Amino acid sequence: MKATHKALAEDWASFLVRLRREDDVPVDLDYAEREKRRLRLEAHPLEWIKEFFPQEAKYEFADFQKRAIARILDHPGNWYEVLSWSRELAKSTVVMFVVLYMALTGRKCNIILCSNSKDNAADLLSVYRGQLENNERIKFYYGEQKGVKWEEAHFVTRGGISFKALGAGQSPRGKKNKTFRSDLLLLDDFDTDEECRNPDIINQKWNWFEDALYFTRSFSEPLTTVWCGNIIAKDCCIVRAGQKALELSARETPLGYWDVINIRMVNTRKPNPKDDFAYGTSVWPEKNSEEAIDDVLAQVSAASGQKECFNNPVTEGTYFKEIRWGKIPPLKHFPFLVSYGDPAPSNKVVNKKGVKKLGSFKANFLVGILDNILYVITGYLDHVKQEEFVNWYYYQREYVGDVPQIYNLIENNKLQDPFYEQVFIPLFAEMATKKGYMINISPDTRDKPDKFVRIEGNLEPLHRQGRMVFNIAEKENPHMKKLEEQFLLFDDGLPAPADGPDCIEGGWFFANQKQRQLVTGAITIGMRRANPKRL
């Protein structure tokens, strides 16, 4: 046996052993008691699921999962369900619960599971086969399930329920179970990243579903269609299926539903990637804690997190297609430099509505203007404690030395002002004692327009004209890499972090105002008025 086949066989065997060991079957029940209990469980699907799958259903169901289960089971007629749930929200597992419930209670008898390939479909179907073959609770209440035909890609239970695995593009014609045409189509993991880059393949797969697979049904018998997949591209089969479900949901008698659920949401009934990323909380806290989500998202790019966890497959922004990296002139040639910081007072702040704001990065970047070019020299962009944020100003000072002059600013809008007064002034004073010298810090109190408008209006023209240059000597600096990524993903339709570009805009604004003052001799710089809170 080949090594890969042997490994798969061992995995399958251990899976079956686990199913047998984990089931505590109430064997002391007599037939009448068993039937009474079975009927009671069938009348309460959530209890039925917890009874038959104690290990898989070990976490309490989230409300959105309960609604999906009820929605599918409450529509015994034609129904078209699309579940675009984020990673780690158990969409395939929840669907398995529902499908096996419908099969074992006699609601469905000819089930086709389709995926991007036959092998993948067979792998997904093997979980169903394993449960039917070795789940002792299923055997106790419904009898032995393993039938005469019990193959990897097609098996039929002793009760006559047929399960088939198909890969996209395979011929589904003639897929009958005796006289019954398919009455449940399950499409899981149907799209792939590579295929989504080719519109022709998406068209072919979608046409295959609608022309071939869908019409394995009977017109006179109800069909339940369930799609499982998060949105990995702007145009993919799951998006087309979702749009079809939206059309069906708008009928006088609804026939479908598109359920889009992100890993964090403000309102699970109203998906909004931008607000969900900025203000949402875990939709399934019983399983995915806020800290765990933070840790996972911190280890991948913003683009990957958006696609896999927020159903937002934007791979690049509209405004900054490519960052210009170049050599920075000697720092002594600059008339002055600006160290501008955005403190993001906390990684989790409660706004006026009492909703936690998540995902903000603290930022501090050193910028300078010379010969009408904005140079981004170095900086920091990360989730850190306030003490480290204060340290960044000292790091910048040590990086530059005594020449040229550095102006140190910290964003301090109306919402941040109490935090500046109560936290940062004492922290800077404490740090001055430790370091032996003081960083002169000025709060930027200007009433800023919308973040997107400022970045697009002030920085995009510089970028387009080649007048915004990143220090190529700092190209391997992870903070500069994060800054570049945030610029490349910057878009009004993308809720990816833009704290880095926002910080650069703040530094540019002050440097531009200061330079104007040097040229014209104006008194005011940066801030709109003399500021008594300057430290």
What's the 3-state SS for 424-459? HHHHHHHHHHHHCCCCCEEEECCCCCCHHHHHHHHH
pLDDT of residue 457: 87
User: In this structure, how many other beta carbons lie within 10 angstroms of the beta carbon of residue 408?
Assistant: 21
Least confident stretch, 8-22, 107-121, 420-434: 8-22
In 3D, which of 489, 513, 43, 30 has the Cα closest to residue 274?
Answer: 489
31 pLDDT more than 80:
yes
In this structure, of 21-35, 188-202, 239-253, 465-479, the range with the lowest mean pLDDT score is: 21-35
User: pLDDT value at position 415?
Assistant: 57
SS3 393: helix
How confident is the model at residue 14, as a pLDDT?
Answer: 60
Residue 95 half-sphere exposure toward CB, CA atoms < 13 A = 26
Lowest mean pLDDT among 127-136, 232-241, 298-307, 420-429: 298-307
Q: Report how far apart, in Å, the C-alpha atoms of 484 and of each of 313, 319, 461 are.
A: 19, 13, 17
Residues 6+ positions from 454 with CB-CB distance below 8 Å: 448, 502, 505
Domains 63-135+145-261 and 325-520 share a fold: no
How large is the angle between the packed helices 199-208 and 237-249, nearest 10 degrees? 50
Strand partners, 358: 348
Q: Has domain 325-520 been given CATH number 3.30.420.320? A: yes
- Residue 469's beta-bridge partner residues? 375
* pLDDT reported for residue 355: 45
d(CA 442, CA 426): 14
Classified as helix, coil or strand, 523 is coil
Predicted confidence (pLDDT) per residue in 429-483, tens digit: 999 999 999 999 999 988 877 788 888 888 988 998 999 999 999 999 999 999 9
Mean per-residue pLDDT of the chain: 87
Residue 525 has pLDDT above 80, yes or no: no
Check residues 55 and 354 and name the one with the higher pLDDT: 55
pLDDT score recorded for residue 320: 85
Please write the tens of the pLDDT for every residue from 170-196: 987 655 666 678 999 999 999 998 898
What tokens does 266 get? 């403000």
Predicted local confidence at residue 29, as pLDDT: 80
Give one word for 7, left, alpha or beta, with left for phi > 0 and alpha for psi -120 to 50.
Answer: alpha
Between 451 and 379, the more confident residue is: 379
8-22, 153-167, 274-288, 434-448: least confident range? 8-22
Q: Is the pLDDT of residue 45 over 50?
A: yes
Mean pLDDT of 394-407: 94
| pLDDT for residue 305 | 85
Which three-class secondary structure state does DSSP give residue 376? strand
Q: Residue 350: is its pLDDT beyond 50?
A: no
Question: What pLDDT is attached to residue 30?
Answer: 85
Give residue 422's pLDDT.
Answer: 84
Which of 43-47, 238-242, 273-277, 284-288 shows the lowest per-residue confidence on average (mean pLDDT)?
273-277
What is the DSSP-derived secondary structure letter of residue 175? -
- Please report, for residues 90, 107, 116, 300, 382, the alpha-carbon distance to residue 292 in angstroms, rounded to integers and kept in the order given: 16, 39, 30, 13, 17
In this predicted model, which residue has the larger pLDDT, 232 or 519?
A: 232
User: Could you report the per-residue pLDDT of 61-83, keeping only the tens digit for each?
Assistant: 999 999 999 999 999 999 999 99
- Say what the pLDDT of residue 319 is: 78
Q: What is the pLDDT of residue 516?
A: 85
* Average pLDDT rounded to a whole number, residues 360-380: 94
Domain extents for the chain? 63-135+145-261, 325-520
pTM (two decimals): 0.69
Are the CB atoms for 343 and 424 separated by under 8 Å? yes
Which of 314-318, 353-357, 477-481 comes out lowest in average pLDDT?
353-357
Question: Percent of the chain at pLDDT above 90?
Answer: 65
Q: What topology is assigned to 63-135+145-261 in CATH?
A: Rossmann fold (3.40.50)
How far is residue 49 from each of residues 18, 38, 96, 192, 407, measured CA to CA in Å?
18, 12, 10, 30, 63
pLDDT at 376 over 50: yes
Residues ≥6 apart with Cβ < 8 Å to 58 = none
